[in-house]
Amino acid sequence: MTQNWTIYILRCSDGSLYTGVTTDMERRLHEHNHSNRAAKYTRVRRPLTLAYQESASSRAAACRREWEIKQLSATQKRRLISAQRHDSR
């Protein structure tokens, strides 16, 4: 069984951005906002909102893309988020 992986960026309540990967975006966003299973970084920056997501065909591809996004500056990440918003209109 193949799983669809999602790379995501969350906007934290302090305006910072958090990048991660998951196979279930709805569950993971709920964990970030309501659970102790959230990343330590996000637990103190609630509430979080989904700012960006893209699909990957495998865990390896998702992790590679997550690493690429994490190398971007905050400004570059905001441009990526903005570009997706414009593409989805």
Q: Domain of 23: which CATH number?
A: 3.40.1440.10
User: Residue range 32-44: average pLDDT?
Assistant: 93
pTM: 0.93
Number of domains in the chain: 1
Q: Which pLDDT score is estimated for 89? A: 62
User: Residue range 51-66: average pLDDT?
Assistant: 97
Nearest by Cα to 27 from 44, 60, 3, 45 = 3
Q: Is residue 89 part of a domain?
A: no
Residue that wins the pLDDT comparison between 6 and 88: 6
Three-class HEC string of the chain: CCCCEEEEEEECCCCCEEEEEECCHHHHHHHHHHCCCCCHHHHCCCCCEEEEEEEECCHHHHHHHHHHHHCCCHHHHHHHHHHHHHHCC
* Residue numbers of the domain that contains 63: 5-84
